[in-house]
Chain A
């Protein structure tokens, strides 16, 4: 009998292991179920709770309590969508969105509550009508041999040849003004490709982490980020990068790299931030959620989620705005003149 019992035990343990189904806690497809599912998804995966608490006192449990009564009484999908969008807005993160058949919820305050510091009408006066364009990058040569390059997005797929041709066309320029204002991001790889034409050797420019568990502080050790120089043409003369609050995500990543280069100056307004690489998931009703999951840190292990300060803070003045003059571009030109006049003085 004892042997029989032992045999049964030996058979039962592996069978119990095997027959256990691996699943996930499923919320029902109701207003309340979708609310709880979204709250928990953010609670387990979002990566900036500590920074949000420090920056503006976010308490995610309090957010649950605030929206729970609305979820309890909600009976309509449209109301649910608005309510869940508002709840995500509490994170004040442009990378956190909810997508459904009703559209996509966005948090825009990081940009729209700040000075615009960019006007494409004013920019047209500098760029002219004879500008060149390569895969979304517009460029022209301003008077006094200063190259002006506008990169409005990193969503495009410019390649090394495009960038080499651009530098060839600007070979007579003494400096480049690289305008990335209102660049809301795109591909990190595109941002890195552009930055790689401004370095001559591998650089270490920051760190990246990811969540290792469901706790708010479960993070991997920061892994260093390196950038290799471009295999095509490279620009090692002066560069002035123009920024405003519309510089976000991959564009913020670009500034993170460029800020460390000795021949680069960042001028304009603080960037919009968005340093967390977003990942996606879904709710019981099939709506898609995007949330920041993998934070990027600078060389001093500081988060850049809420933006990167420029070297020189410049806003477009009301007077210049009314006169069709871009204060930030003018300041960049003055900076370049100043640099070269000092250099000439030193060289005698």
Chain B
């Protein structure tokens, strides 16, 4: 009896590698681990800036915009969450009478979304976003206050609606995104404080302000349309976008708004990513 048990155990041990291999060959279809959509766009931005630290009047002009978005399934939550990383850079030129103003702003946001499938074509997503933005408005004709530096971070609420709809034999995707900063911190000099005091003398006490919708009622709308370049194939799409980035603040009696309306064009690619340690070679039909 003991010998029989030993033989059974030995056979079982010998059979283990074969059994584990058998688990691999349940199917020979490799499922992608993550679907990543990467899109880059360039656009033209219509600028409307006001910063009473520099001037009490709107400066209107035009700029160039570059944006890059990565949108993918997040590893957390068993891939039920979506993750978005969005980079945006704007360089522009605006005027008020004979006065010039240069705008340079770079921002990055990281968002996490939970999707809600509403209908076959419509998905709503809701989540949270961390925003980081830096740059400056620069008025060369101002002597000791030529620039208003912008450096801020915020925690924002974000929502998205994605709608897939057929056009002839292909599927187009319309997307709308809304980001609303809820709280954060920003660099904010006092009403008549010079940058010489802050950076030259180090009198920097109180130049960071807490922001909330009361003193920083801002939002960003993004509307995009992805059009497949080939029918029945969605891996590369032409992307047309309108972005309304409406930043506003009223801190230390300094009023500021930077309204950017951007019309952008670019491409987006869908990449199916397979885990590195799960390559095709590891699979065997036997």
Contacts and interface: CB of A to CB of B under 8 A. Distances in A.
Interface of A: 14, 17-26, 37, 41, 45, 47, 99, 101, 188-189, 208, 210-214, 218, 220, 223, 225, 277-288, 290, 293-294
B172 to A, nearest CB: 30
Please name the 8 residue pairs, one residue from A and one from B, whose CB atoms are nearest each other, closest first.
A286-B97, A211-B192, A280-B142, A22-B248, A282-B55, A210-B193, A279-B145, A223-B203
Contacts of A293: 192, 194
A280 B97 CA distance: 15
Contact of A279 (B142, B217, B250, B253): B142
Contacts of A26: 56-58
B171 interface: no
A288 B193 contact: no
B72 to A, nearest CB: 29
Chain A at the B interface: mostly helix, strand, loop or mixed? mixed
Contact of B143 (A20, A24, A223, A279): A279
Contacts of A19: 217
Contact of A282 (B96, B191, B196): B96
A281 B255 contact: no
Contact of B57 (A24, A45, A220): A24
A157 to B, nearest CB: 15
Given A22-B248, A23-B58, A293-B194, 10 more contacts: A19-B217, A22-B217, A24-B56, A212-B252, A218-B191, A220-B190, A277-B144, A282-B96, A293-B192, A294-B197
Given A41-B56, A278-B143, A279-B194, A208 B201 contact: yes
B108 interface: no
27 contacts: A14-B213, A22-B217, A22-B249, A22-B257, A23-B257, A24-B56, A26-B56, A26-B57, A41-B56, A45-B192, A101-B98, A188-B196, A208-B197, A208-B201, A210-B190, A211-B192, A212-B190, A212-B192, A220-B190, A225-B201, A279-B145, A282-B55, A282-B97, A284-B97, A286-B97, A288-B141, A293-B192
A23 B255 contact: yes
Contacts, number: 120
A282 B180 contact: no
A287 B191 CA distance: 21
A286 B99 contact: yes
- Which of A17, A101, A223, A280 has the largest count of B CB atoms less than 10 A from its CB? A280
Given A22-B249, A281-B55, A210 B144 contact: no
Nearest to B52: A24
A53 to B, nearest CB: 19
B56 A210 contact: no
Given A18-B213, A23-B257, A278 B144 contact: yes
Given A280-B141, A280-B144, A21 B190 contact: no
Given A218-B191, A223-B201, A277 B196 contact: yes
Given A18-B219, A26-B57, A223 B255 contact: no
Given A18-B219, A24-B56, A223-B203, A210 B192 contact: yes
A303 B255 CA distance: 30
A98 to B, nearest CB: 13
Contacts of B143: 278-280, 290
B200 A189 contact: yes
B62 interface: no
Contacts of B52: 24
Contacts of B141: 99, 280, 288
Contacts of A47: 192
Contacts of B54: 280-281
B97 A287 contact: yes
B188 interface: no
Contacts of B203: 208, 223
A200 B281 CA distance: 75
Nearest to A192: B200
B21 to A, nearest CB: 58
B145 A286 contact: no
B186 to A, nearest CB: 14
Nearest to B182: A14
A24 B50 contact: yes
B227 interface: no
Nearest to A40: B56
